[in-house]
Structure 1
Amino acid sequence: MELGFIILVVAILCVIAVVRELKAQNMFGVAFAAISALVFGFFSVATLYWELIHPLFQS
């Protein structure tokens, strides 16, 4: 479960990087940070779901 929270922090940092690179008008940086945010965000949500929500519905 700790891994999910760590990856979520990384995803939030990637979103901050997207905003910062948009202000600097660095489109390569925006693309790289956006792809990273999507990937890390997906894995953090999936990990947290699997550890927290999924066991509640198992019988």
Structure 2
Amino acid sequence: MVTAIILLLVAILCVLAVFRELKTKNFFAVMFAGASALIFGWFSVMTIYVRLFG
């Protein structure tokens, strides 16, 4: 469960990075931060789901 919480915190930081990079119009960084947010968010949600319902 600790892994899921850490992954969720990383995903939240990636979402914040997306907004920060959108302000500076750095679209290459937006792409990588967005992809990281999606991947880390998916793994955190699925880890929590498996631990609760698996």
Alignment of 1:38 onto 2:38: yes
For structure 1, the 5+ residue unaligned runs are: none
Letter of the structure 2 residue corresponding to residue 11 of structure 1? A
Q: In the TM superposition, what is the alpha-carbon distance from 1:42 to its structure 2 partner?
A: 0.2
Corresponding pairs, count: 54
- TM-score norm. by structure 1 comes to 0.88
Rg: which structure is higher?
1
Q: In the TM superposition, what is the alpha-carbon distance from 1:48 to its structure 2 partner?
A: 0.5
- TM-score norm. by structure 2 comes to 0.96
Show the counterpart of 1:17.
17
Deviating beyond 2 angstroms after TM superposition, the runs of 4 or more aligned structure 1 residues are none
Q: CA RMSD in A?
A: 0.7
Letter of the structure 2 residue corresponding to residue 9 of structure 1? L
Q: In the TM superposition, what is the alpha-carbon distance from 1:38 to its structure 2 partner?
A: 0.3
